[in-house]
């Protein structure tokens, strides 16, 4: 984990979340741009207003893990996320096996709850206007 509560630790975030609602955002590093940043910032702000029970884990998929790990704290400082942890996946840039990451998309969003994927989105083009579609798939607040 590069930023967030477990900054500097290698972490199995799925195990750490223990079935709690989580939004995983897998970002193709070469597709990171302002519209993607606005999407992430808006998602973070909207969840922060009403759903503090939901964590966001934004995971960069890249061929250059070291460079990305150096960059992510600056990205966090720039967009000032409160409910989002930033991480870089140390393996293949197609993402973790079995997660069905759309490597042709700018980012893939997977909503998990009770240790199961509940919804998945692959966005080839997006901005902050796509956030309500994602929020609409969250499990009800308990």
Q: Are 21 and 115 in contact (CB under 8 A)?
A: no
CA 41 – CA 33 distance, rounded (Å): 12
The CATH architecture annotation of domain 17-124 reads 3-Layer(aba) Sandwich (3.40)
Give pLDDT, residue 1: 46
SS3 per residue for the chain: CCCCCCCCCCCCHHHHHCCCCEEEEEEEHHHCCHHHHHHHHHHHHHHHHHCCCCEEEEEEECCCHHHHHHHHHHHHHHHCCCCEEEEECCCCCCCCCCCCCCCCCCEEEEEEECCEEEEEEEECCCCHHHHHHHHCCCCCCC
Give pLDDT, residue 133: 96
Give pLDDT, residue 4: 60
Give pLDDT, residue 40: 97
pLDDT means per 10 residues, the chain with 142 residues, are: 62 81 96 95 95 94 93 92 92 90 93 92 94 94 82
| Domain range list for the chain | 17-124
The answer to pTM > 0.75 is yes
Give pLDDT, residue 122: 94
Q: Are 110 and 24 in contact (CB under 8 A)?
A: yes
Closest CA to 118 of 130, 110, 126: 110
């Amino acid at each position: 984990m590069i930023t967030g509560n477990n900054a500097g630790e290698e972490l199995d975030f799925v195990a750490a979340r223990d079935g709690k609602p989580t939004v995983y955002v897998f970002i193709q590093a070469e597709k990171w741009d302002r519209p993607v940043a606005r999407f992430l910032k808006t998602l973070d702000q909207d969840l922060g207003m009403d759903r503090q029970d939901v964590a966001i884990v934004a995971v960069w998929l890249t061929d250059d893990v070291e460079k990305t790990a150096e960059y992510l704290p600056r990205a966090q400082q720039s967009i000032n996320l409160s409910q989002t942890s930033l991480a870089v996946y140390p393996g293949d840039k197609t993402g973790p096996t079995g997660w069905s990451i759309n490597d042709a998309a700018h980012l893939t969003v997977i909503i998990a709850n009770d240790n199961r994927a509940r919804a998945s989105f692959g966005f080839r083009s997006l901005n902050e206007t796509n956030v309500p579609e994602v929020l609409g798939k969250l499990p009800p607040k308990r």
